[in-house]
Amino acid sequence: MRFVVTKVCSGGGKARAGALHIAGAGIGIETPALLLSTRKGLPAFLSCDLLASLPLPDSLLLHVCPTHFIEGPPVKTISAIRGLHGMLGLPDHILVAAASDSIESLPSCEATNKFGASFETPSGRRLVKPSDYMELISCMKPNIWASLADEVPAWVTEKRNKVSVDRTLRWLDACIALDVASGTNSFGVIVGGSSLEQRKLCATEVSKRNVSGFWIAGFGFGESIEERCTLLNATTDCLPREKPRLVSRLGLPEEVLEGVAAGIDLFDSTYIYQLTMGGFALIFPVDMVEREMQNGVLNTTDGDSTKINLRATTYRKDTSRLVDSCNCFTCQNHTRAYLNHLLNVHEMLAQILLEIHNTHHYLRFFHSIREAIKVGEFDLFRQEFVKKRRTHFAAVVV
């Protein structure tokens, strides 16, 4: 794996654009980028042929969760069919494996112990030891994998945060030792809860290990926005510039922009899945840089909203597209009224069409972020984006 930083914001900013090259993948992925969340290897409502209709190469990054396969086919069977790439029929996609997600494999810190990490799964609570985890990694053959981590919520004590860091570092060493033969790309996990000291300690120690990048975990468990910003910046300050950084559970547009401003390159989030399950469609402007940025001034005369609830009766007779400027399959072929109908009669096609649009829309958002960094206008892009959204929310409240 090779990662190159191609542009860093001027004026002391940490937002950066880069390119991630995976051996055998044949194509580079520009960063900042989004990892599409999956359930047992594929996005919840997208088959392989629908996945291929999404923007390339941005849609090639998939987050897979090894614990989803604990009760799946035997590990020898998965290995015999060339791992997940062969089983899923996705030879060209970049699979990034990490033990937890926010849907079917939730960290359970109270049941985690010195032997392994505990997760709440659909089949109950499971304790996963480093040896069991690396057996799954070995058979799945992902392009990148992250080590086990002891993720804790924001309200735990400083002593528990220290235990979390100690365990995570010990499991990282164990996972790396078990992976010596394959030599795949490993990401060291950085934890520490809401403790600034433990976050910095963990980041410093993980940086000393032979890892290809860093997975910043443990967010989305009760920390405040102010705490998260401070912790993110303190963590990235301790990491080497030449390796990629990935963060979990920052999904809202404002959270993504916050992460990019702190120097994050990759984002793993279930935001699209949660929107789709709720019957929401993203409609906020994403092409600000390409269309509206002129002479360093961002045009904010258009109204703004993040998403619309297509279950609402107001869309029952709405024959317009979700987003006029969107060229996804859903927007090119269907109306808001049709999606409203599908949702209200409980047709799964509604979720399929919504996931196509929401994924396409959010990938365009990441493209705009990259363009803003390249032209040196990220700070302006972020400020105006947040300002525009706040203006809309204020108008709605009034």
For the cut 50, the answer to whether the pLDDT of residue 7 exceeds it is yes
Model's pTM, two decimal places? 0.91
For the cut 80, the answer to whether the pLDDT of residue 123 exceeds it is no
What gap in Å lies between CA 372 and CA 296, rounded to an integer?
A: 11
Report CA-CA distances (Å) from 142 to 64, 91, 238, 328.
8, 11, 27, 28
Q: Are 22 and 94 in contact (CB under 8 A)?
A: yes
Residue, of 23 and 233, whose pLDDT is higher: 233
**Containing H/E element for 157?**
none
Secondary structure E strands in the chain: 2-8, 16-21, 28-31, 33-37, 61-64, 94-97, 106-107, 117-121, 124-128, 144-146, 185-190, 213-216, 245-248, 266-269, 280-282, 293-294, 297-298, 307-309
Output the known binding site.
Answer: 326, 328, 331, 357
Q: Kindly tell me the burial class for residue 119, based on how many C-beta atoms sit within 10 Å of its own C-beta (0-12, 13-18, 19 or more).
A: buried
Identify the pLDDT of residue 304: 40
Q: What is residue 32's three-state secondary structure?
A: coil
Pull the structure tokens for residue 196. 């600034």
Summarize the confidence of residues 260-284 as an average pLDDT. 95
Give the confidence band of 308 by pLDDT, cuts at 50, 70, 90. very high
CA-wise closest residue to 260 among 140, 151, 184, 372:
372
Q: Provide the mean pLDDT of the chain.
A: 88
Output the known binding site for Zn(2+).
Answer: 326, 328, 331, 357
Summarize the confidence of residues 96-108 as an average pLDDT. 81
What the chain holds in terms of domains, given with CATH numbers, is 1-273 (3.20.20.105), 280-394 (no CATH)
What are residue 187's phi and psi, to 5 degrees? -110, 125
What gap in Å lies between CA 104 and CA 258, rounded to an integer?
A: 26
Identify the pLDDT of residue 390: 66
Share of the chain above pLDDT 70, in %: 91
Q: Pick the range with the lowest mean pLDDT from 37-51, 68-82, 144-158, 297-311.
A: 297-311
HSE (side-chain half, CA atoms, 13 Å) at 139: 20
